[in-house]
Structure 1
Amino acid sequence: TPAQRNDAAPHRVPRKDRYKFKLRPHNPDHKYPGVKDLVYLESSPGFCEKNPRLGIPGTHGRACNDTSIGVDGCDLMCCGRGYRTETMFVVERCNCT
């Protein structure tokens, strides 16, 4: 029967480490990546300069937060190019009761 013939046929057992690379950290003081670590093989494209091919608008002309140390902060968003500050006085009408 066909089932008996298939059982007798030689079969290849895939090796677990067949395509395993030996990754090394860029900085020798860092640990080697583990099996659950996310590893990047290429650098991410920069977001500071405009790149229409990749759909990156760049950060020139964007508003930033001078007091923030996060991604909306001027130091990070302006990529070291410097920035101009504007002081605005805003009057708003409130619906107080």
Structure 2
Amino acid sequence: CTVKTCWMRLPTFRSVGDALKDRFDGASRVMMPNTEVEAPVQRNDAAPHRVPRRDRYRFQLRPHNPDHKTPGVKDLVYLEPSPGFCEKNPRLGIPGTHGRACNDTSIGVDGCDLMCCGRGYRTETM
């Protein structure tokens, strides 16, 4: 007698990260509509308290740029751009990068090209 057991497998961490990064890179800025959100239509069925998924939200997110297409259900969207880290913003607790030491051989976040935000940098030998 042979018994087989099946189970679902998660994708690798790398593939999940790559998929999220692709969605992040393609995220769309959207605006909320100015109209009031209407109450969902009441239905006469066995579960009147449940609202079907297609009727859950009675508004459509519009792209911030009218030349862009309306985002799909799997698209990543945002309402406001993230604050920049280059310039000082005490209100948000962002110290800025002016005057910080950087690594001119690194291509990471500590690298001068990224950290200096295109302003250029001065090299000192210590």
Q: TM-score, normalised by structure 2?
A: 0.47
Question: Quick check: which one's strand share is greater?
Answer: 2
Q: Between the two structures, name the one with larger relative contact order (CA 8 Å, sep ≥ 6).
A: 2
CA separation of 1:45 and 1:5: change in aligned 2, threshold 3 A: closer
Query: Unmatched 5+ residue regions in structure 2?
Result: 1-38
SS in 2 for 1:2: coil
CA separation of 1:52 and 1:11: change in aligned 2, threshold 3 A: closer
Q: Which of the two has higher C-alpha Rg?
A: 1
Identity %: 92
Query: Unmatched 5+ residue regions in structure 1?
Result: 89-97
CA separation of 1:16 and 1:85: change in aligned 2, threshold 3 A: same
Quote how far apart the aligned CAs of 1:53 are: 0.3
Q: Structure 1: how far apart are the matches of 2:104 and 2:61?
A: 40
The total of aligned residue pairs comes to 88
Supply the RMSD in Å over aligned alpha carbons: 6.4
* Deviation readout 1:37-84 (Å, 9 max, x if unpaired): 543221000111100000000001111010111111111101111111
